[in-house]
């Protein structure tokens, strides 16, 4: 399967999972991904479009390999073989991180602080944070950001993506505080979460 995957992936490559769910929303528009792909290609990466067809935005750039629309994407082993040939994956408010995470492939995730961080008060669910702890066996870069803030300031969000990739490239996988409504609250929430983990 690795040899087969190499016919799909032109290294160095990055995988993008682009959420497109009717339920719960939190989808970013195609225009955002067009700019993201250009930024990645300007950095020298090729891009592979990943995800389940029914919950993934069709790739808005014609020359990008849209694996989500290929029949092979229904084969988990082939999907994981593709993921293993990537430098990292990028996703926004989606649990698709588990595919890279279980294979030890680095990933970059934008997620809301409340989904990542548990607080001492116990009021926060931190479902995604729990999932990451259980299914991540490699490096991960998490950007704490609220969906509406990113949706309303997409160019700023792309700048944060660039900064996060720069940090990943020098081995810095610390959590980043991105675009949040209340920086002080989010910082305190993350601090409490880290204290709980240690």
Digit-coded pLDDT (tens) for 150-171: 999 999 999 999 999 999 999 9
pLDDT at 57 over 70: yes
pLDDT at 120 over 90: no
Reported confidence tier of residue 184, pLDDT bands at 50, 70, 90: low
What pLDDT does 98 receive? 87
What pLDDT does 178 receive? 83
Bigger pLDDT: 6 vs 197:
6
Reported confidence tier of residue 26, pLDDT bands at 50, 70, 90: confident
Beta-bridged to residue 142, according to DSSP, are: 109
Does the N-terminal peptide bond of residue 12 adopt cis geometry, omega within 30 degrees of 0? yes
Best-predicted range by mean pLDDT among 39-43, 94-98, 173-177, 182-186?
Answer: 39-43
Reported confidence tier of residue 118, pLDDT bands at 50, 70, 90: low
Digit-coded pLDDT (tens) for 71-107: 999 999 999 999 999 999 999 988 788 899 999 999 9
Handedness of CA 88, 94, 96, 98 (dihedral sign): positive
Name residues whose C-beta falls within 8 Å of residue 65's C-beta, 6 or more positions apart in sequence.
Answer: 8, 9, 46, 47, 48, 49
H runs (alpha helix) in the chain: 2-8, 30-42, 76-84, 97-103, 113-116, 127-135, 147-152, 154-169, 183-197
What pLDDT does 189 receive? 59
Bigger pLDDT: 122 vs 180:
180
State the pTM of this model: 0.85
What pLDDT does 21 receive? 76
Best-predicted range by mean pLDDT among 29-33, 133-137, 143-147?
Answer: 29-33
Query: Nearest 5°: phi and psi at 67?
Result: -65, -25
Q: Percentage of residues in the chain with pLDDT exceeding 90?
A: 65
């Amino acid at each position: 399967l690795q040899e087969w995957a190499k016919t799909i992936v032109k290294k160095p490559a990055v995988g993008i999972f682009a959420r497109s769910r009717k339920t719960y929303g939190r989808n970013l528009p195609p225009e955002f991904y067009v700019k993201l792909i250009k930024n990645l290609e300007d950095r020298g990466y090729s891009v592979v479009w990943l995800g389940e067809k029914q919950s993934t935005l069709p790739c808005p750039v014609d020359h990008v390999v849209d694996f989500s629309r290929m029949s092979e994407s229904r084969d988990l082993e082939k999907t994981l073989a593709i993921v293993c040939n990537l430098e990292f994956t990028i996703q926004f408010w989606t649990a698709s991180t588990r595919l890279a995470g279980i294979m030890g492939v680095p990933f970059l995730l934008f997620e809301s602080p409340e989904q990542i961080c548990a607080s001492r008060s116990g009021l926060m669910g931190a479902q995604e944070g729990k999932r990451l702890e259980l299914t991540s066996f490699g490096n991960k870069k998490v950007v704490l950001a609220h969906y509406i803030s990113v949706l309303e300031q997409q160019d700023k969000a792309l700048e944060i993506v660039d900064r996060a990739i720069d940090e990943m490239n020098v081995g810095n996988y610390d959590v980043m505080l991105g675009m949040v409504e209340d920086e002080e609250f989010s910082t305190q929430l993350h601090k409490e979460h880290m204290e709980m983990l240690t």
